[in-house]
């Protein structure tokens, strides 16, 4: 077996594993999107008005927190999902698979007026709607014997939806800042003073709060991985070094730097 055949076999094995993980995350998402709305509606509709669900605010409060935790868990899965899609696409290009399912994945091109047809915002709205219902039941339990607080029943769900919109904006803004920080760091690693100073790189990383890396961690990681980067001083080595320090995928870092994504 030649070296090329061996490398192709390794890439193919990884590709199969990546696709398996992708299917697993997709399956988890469908289960969450099935059970959470059904459970929420069933609890709100079929539980008698005299039950503790309506009488005790602690129960809807607990359900509200659980909904937020599940939504956060699913949002973290989104990050893994995106990376698996990108890695699968990269492997398809390396394996020279023409018209691959991931490398030629269509963008969300359809719109109904100003409403884009895509995955993320409908899923987020499902979680926001479930949380809104539990917020309504929570305030209803608090205000059931106090007519003066009836306004809370309608304010709480509206506040939940407003918070969801604000979180979407924060996510977009944070993503843009993170991309800019990575581009700046790659520019330092590949700029005119390439390979110049470990200390300067550490200070620059620490000065980017969006990356959330402490100085002692950055210093230790840069020192450990610096030699491999210094041997090549190219974009692949720079992205690998940066990935090891800031815990973001090297493939994504190189894509951001090259402008491919």
Asked if 188 contacts 204 with a C-beta cutoff of 8 angstroms, the reply is yes
Can you give the pLDDT at residue 17? 94
In a domain, 258, yes or no: yes
Residues 131, 243 within the same domain: no
What is the sign, positive or negative, of the torsion defined by CA atoms of 127, 128, 133, 134? positive
> Both 118 and 227 in a single domain?
no
Number of domains in the chain: 2
Same domain (yes/no): 215, 135? no
Q: Quick check: 53 pLDDT over 70?
A: no
Confidence of residue 5 (pLDDT cuts 50, 70, 90): confident
Residue 102 falls inside a structural domain: yes
144, 239: one domain: no
- Residue 128's domain comprises 1-150
Distance CA 210, CA 208 (A): 5
Going by pLDDT thresholds of 50, 70 and 90, the confidence category of residue 160 is very high
The verdict on 123 and 219 lying in the same domain is: no
Summarize pLDDT for 86-106 with one digit per residue, the tens: 999 989 988 988 888 998 888
Asked if 27 and 145 sit in the same domain, the reply is: yes
The CA-to-CA distance between both ends of the chain, in Å, stands at 35
pLDDT in tens, 10-48: 999 999 999 999 999 999 988 988 888 888 877 767 666
Whether residue 211 is found in the same domain as residue 140: no
Per-residue pLDDT at 213 exceeds 90: yes
How does pLDDT run across 169-208, given as a tens digit for each residue? 999 999 999 999 999 999 988 877 655 688 888 999 999 9
Same domain, 127 and 203: no
In this structure, are 86 and 196 located in the same domain?
no
Residue 60: predicted pLDDT: 87
- Average pLDDT of 140-159? 78
Residue at 163 is within a domain: no
> Are residues 8 and 121 both part of a single domain?
yes
Other Cβ atoms closer than 10 A to 76: 10
């Amino acid at each position: 077996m030649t070296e090329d055949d061996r490398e192709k076999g390794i890439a193919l094995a990884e590709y199969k594993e990546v696709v398996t993980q992708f299917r697993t995350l997709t399956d988890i998402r469908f289960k969450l999107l099935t059970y959470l709305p059904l459970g929420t509606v069933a609890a709100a509709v079929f539980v008698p008005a005299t039950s503790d669900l309506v009488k005790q605010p602690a129960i809807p409060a607990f359900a509200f927190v659980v909904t937020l935790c599940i939504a956060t868990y699913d949002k973290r899965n989104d990050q893994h999902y995106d990376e698996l899609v990108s890695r699968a696409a990269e492997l398809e290009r390396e394996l020279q698979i023409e018209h691959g399912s991931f490398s030629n994945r269509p963008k969300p091109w359809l719109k109904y007026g100003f409403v884009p047809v895509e995955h993320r915002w409908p899923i987020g709205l499902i979680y926001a709607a479930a949380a809104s219902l539990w917020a309504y039941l929570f305030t209803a339990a608090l205000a059931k014997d106090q007519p003066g607080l009836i306004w809370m029943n309608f304010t709480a769900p509206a506040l939940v939806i407003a918070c969801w919109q604000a979180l979407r904006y924060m996510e977009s803004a944070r993503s843009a800042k993170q991309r800019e920080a990575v581009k700046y760091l790659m520019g330092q690693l590949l700029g005119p003073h390439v390979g110049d100073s470990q200390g300067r790189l550490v200070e620059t990383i620490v000065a980017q709060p969006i990356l959330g890396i402490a100085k002692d961690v950055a210093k230790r990681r840069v020192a450990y991985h610096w030699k491999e980067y210094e041997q090549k001083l190219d974009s692949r080595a720079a992205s690998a070094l940066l990935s090891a320090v800031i815990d973001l995928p090297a493939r994504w870092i190189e894509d951001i730097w090259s402008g491919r994504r």
